[in-house]
Structure 1
Amino acid sequence: MNIQERFVHQLRTQALCTPADRILLAVSGGRDSVLMATLFVQAGYRVGIAHCNFGLRGEASDADEVLVHNLAREFEVPFYRAAFPTADYASQQGISIQMAARELRYEWFETTRATQGYDYIAVAQHQSDSTETVLLNLVRGTGLAGLGGIQPKRGRIIRPLLFLTGAEVTEAVAQLGLAYRDDESNYATKYARNKIRLEVVPRLKELNPELDRTFGANMTHFAAAYEVVQHHVEQLRNELFKPLNPTSWTIPIDLLLALQPQQFLLYELFRPFHFTDAVLRDLAGALPGSIPGKQFASPTHVLHVDRGQLILVPAGGSDGKSAVLESPEAGVRWANYHFKATLTDDVAIHPHPHAVQLDADKLIFPLEIRSWQRGDVFRPLGMKGTRKLSDFFISLKIPRYQKQEVPLVVNGNGDILWVAPYRMADHYKITAITKKVLTLACN
């Protein structure tokens, strides 16, 4: 088969798209993307061309845009372009130029795809790019997940040139006489990927001239192995993770201790929650002792060691959240709770597990609803003297990880009125001289 036939075969066998689909082509002006655009057009697909000008190379960036625009005119297909202040964005976000360019282009590609009615975004990565990705992942340590290479289809992104090596792309471009532009930054070895491409891969090809083909076969096996592992891990996660609510789980420590191989399975079980391998090694070391109160954090979640179990919760929770109850007849939401106040002259006591009755004349509005803060004290109903709220939580056997999820209703003078829904403050109870009652319900 010639390259055009191989291209169409790849689209069909990998189920990347159909002739009925509209494809948005990401074209930089380099040989890879120009070849991809040419093959799509020659195959008769309905396409549009999208080009990003990152403004990083001055006149060279503008010349890339001119070439791509001319290509769209030649093919008589829609042309979309965007210019980005990439360096400013990278500085603002505290990320590398390369990462900034990636974030900007993929966000814009998806917006353009959705608003302009395209089914897929085609990106011109080839087999040699996939080899470099795996080598980079090995160096950085991404685990089994990083050994499958670049996938031909992920959501709305398709990569139809993965059947070609970089050398084959160069050969095809020459045979077809296609005009393209080289980005000189591709030859700067200060970038990790370029260093892999220009220095590491050539040395490896001295050992195996068919490196890309060998890596391609290995990637297929690794991807299949990873799929098997993930199926097992998903079953294991369903058995071990017991839901507390839609975003939190308990995990029995004794079952984690029985896992073999423990470190590998811990990494895979907690990988969706962004825990690093180093944190999970610390966790594995702490499991045998299981000291309650220890915490292990990821950017998105926290693992709390409790009595015989781990508690997995989102990072932050309700910590720092605050709401205001403006008046005696108001309502407000805090986290998953809804508070509703009602003012009445009825001074009779009507016990309710999710409501309190407060002496309204002692209240100073607005009332604040917030989470626990270090140093909080209050006087529980029926007790003499104040207690540290942290000690009160311990007496109620409220786990440490749940402290921030308990709403506190605070008077305008700073007094805690109610640790909802557990206990109100003694000083604000109904007495013989109470004239008006504020009933505050929480559900």
Structure 2
Amino acid sequence: MNVQERFIQYLQEQALCQPHERILLAVSGGKDSVLMAHLFARAGYAIGIAHCNFRLRGEAADADEALVYLLAKTLRVPFYATAFETEAHAQQTGVSIQMAARKLRYEWFEAIRVTQGYDYIAVAQHQNDNMETLLLNLVRGTGLAGLRGIQPKRNRIIRPLLFLSSEEVQAYVHAEGLEYRDDASNYSTKYARNKIRLEVVPKLKELNPVLEYTFAENMVRFTDAYTVLQAYVEELRNGLFTEFSDKEWHISVAKLMDLQPRRFLLYELFKPFGFTEPVLSDLEGAIRNVPGKQFRSPSHVLYLNRGELVLKPMETEEDMVATIERPGNGAQWDEYRFESSLSTDRAVMGESHIAQFDADKITFPIQIRAWQEADVFYPLGMSGKKKLSDLFVSLKIPVYQKRSVPVVVNGNGDIIWVAPHRMDDRYKITGKTKKVFTLACF
């Protein structure tokens, strides 16, 4: 099986994208991203190419952009380019240049994806990148999640070259005569990842010549083990956390003390609420002897009270609310982006992240907010009204995630969509519908 066939097989096996979907490719001009562009183009996908100039390498960076522009022109696909003042941004935000560049590019990629109608952003990381990430995680200290390496798909980011080693990428690019550019900074050992690539990996390959393959196989096993662990922890959490309201859970101290291995399970139980290992270590030491003591994360607080731990969100001024003033407008709510449109096309879309409403029943502005305890609506396909809290139970949404689910409210106060799970039956399109208001949640 050649590389092109393996590429298509990997897309299918990992459910990264479908042939009808549009993919925005992050192309730097290096051999990995150039190869990715050719593989997608030859597979017949509708693609666009996005390139970032970080203004860090002078004329070399400009030459990278020129090459990527010619690549897009050759493939006859849309080309998007931008330039960042990366050093200035790093100084202003107090982060490293590498972290600043990462933040800038991913925010820009997502903006292009949404505004230009792409389904996914593809990044050209391969097996060696994955192996280096795992080694860095081990060196810096990581939980089990870090042993999984780079995941093939995360939200709208896909990584379709993780089945290839760097040697395979090099061989294919050379055999096909593909033009690319090398970034000289890739050979500087002042960066931790480069030190791993240039100094550590060659030594390890003396012990195991097929190191990339071995790491790839191990990361599959680690991922499977992590999935099993998270299912167990979720079941454990549901049994231990008693919900008193949307803002409060009580946990028996005695039951926590019976857990083994206790520190490990404490970390996994409270990790979704932002608690770090040092804080949970303090909790374990004080749990029997210091009533009233508080333990804080950026989003939550834990405190001891009469043999129980009480978990509550940190107090905020008010719940975040986003507003869509009219059809065609969009809005950002938490990590979700909403886009809207109005049309006379009544064809039903099957995607779960898209809801279609009878436009004559919509009153603007509509709001997007978090769940409130008294919320009810009329779920599509069901008779009668239902509490949203009951819907969350039926959908098996954990209690701590309920306030992260966007609730779309009509201008008259009715809940019309619990995104992206279920819309309200009263607002569905029918044979009498003249115009369709479509809302997409990404």
TM (norm. structure 1) is: 0.70
Corresponding position of 1:225: 225
How much has 1:178 moved relative to structure 2? 1.0
Task: Give the secondary-structure state (helix, strand or coil) at the position aligned to 1:180.
Answer: coil
Letter in 2 for 1:295: Q
Q: CA deviation at 1:131?
A: 0.7
Tell me the SS of whatever aligns to 1:260: coil
Using the TM superposition, give the Cα deviation of residue 242 of structure 1 relative to its aligned residue in structure 2, in angstroms: 2.0
Partner of 1:188: 188
Q: List per-residue Cα deviations over 1:301-357 (Å, max 9, x = no partner).
A: 2222222111222335469xxxxxxxxxxxxxxxxxxxxxxxxxxxxxxxxxxxxxx
Residue in structure 1 matched with residue 95 of structure 2 by the alignment: 95
1:32 match: secondary structure: helix
| Residue 301 (structure 1) aligned with residue 278 (structure 2) | no
Moved more, 208-217 or 292-301: 292-301
Letter in 2 for 1:111: A
Deviation at 1:191, TM superposition (A): 1.6
Identity value in percent:
65
Match of 2:176 in 1: 176
Distance 1:218 1:267 in 2: 24
- Residue 52 of structure 2 corresponds to 52
State the distance in 2 between where 1:3 and 1:284 align: 52
1:19-168 matched pairs, under 5 angstroms: 19-168=19-168
Offset of residue 224 of structure 1:
0.4
Q: Unaligned regions of 5+ residues in structure 1, if any?
A: 320-443
Match of 2:48, SS?
strand
Distance 1:201 1:288 in 2: 47
CA distance in 1, matches of 2:178, 2:32: 11
Q: Give the whole-Å Cα distance in 2 for the aligned partners of 1:284 and 1:189.
A: 41
Once the 2 structures are TM-superposed, how far is the Cα of residue 297 of structure 1 from its aligned partner?
2.1
CA distance in 2: counterparts of 1:86 and 1:55, whole angstroms: 7
- The answer for the alignment partner of 1:237 in structure 2 is 237
Q: Which runs of 5+ in 2 are unaligned?
A: 319-442
Q: What is the CA–CA distance in structure 2 between the aligned matches of 1:300 and 1:89, rounded to whole Å?
A: 26
Amino acid at match of 1:6: R
Once the two structures are overlaid, the 10-residue window that deviates more, 197-206 or 222-231, is: 197-206
Q: What do residues 388-430 of structure 1 show as CA deviations (whole Å, max 9, x unaligned)? A: xxxxxxxxxxxxxxxxxxxxxxxxxxxxxxxxxxxxxxxxxxx
Q: Matches of 1:200 and 1:255 in 2, distance apart? A: 45
Cα displacement (A) at 1:246:
2.1
RMSD across aligned positions (CA): 1.5
How big is the shift at 1:205? 0.8
Paired with 1:278 and 1:4, the residues of 2 have a C-alpha distance of 47
- Cα distance, 1:269 vs. partner? 0.6
Residue number in structure 2 paired with 1:249: 249
- 1:430 maps to which residue? none
SS in structure 2 of the partner of residue 38 of structure 1: helix
How far apart are the structure 2 equivalents of 1:107 and 1:246?
A: 31
Deviation at 1:165, TM superposition (A): 0.6
The CA deviation at 1:16 is 1.3
In 2, the alpha carbon distance for the partners of 1:133 and 1:306 equals 42
Per-residue CA deviations over 1:28-48 (Å, capped at 9, x if unaligned) read 111100000011111111100
Aligned residue in 2 for 1:387: none
Cα distance in 1 for partners of 2:294, 2:60 equals 51
Q: 1:44-77 CA deviation, whole Å, 9 max, x = no partner? A: 1110000111111111111111110110001110
- Tell me what 2:439 maps to: none
State the number of aligned residues. Answer: 318
Structure 1 counterpart of 2:72, one-letter code: A
Matched to 2:233, the amino acid is V
Further displaced range: 302-311 or 249-258? 302-311
1:311 equivalent to 2:310? Answer yes
Distance of 1:27 and 1:155 partners within structure 2: 19
Aligned-residue offset at 1:97: 0.9
Instruction: Give, as a single letter, the amino acid of the residue that structure 2 aligns with 1:285.
Output: G
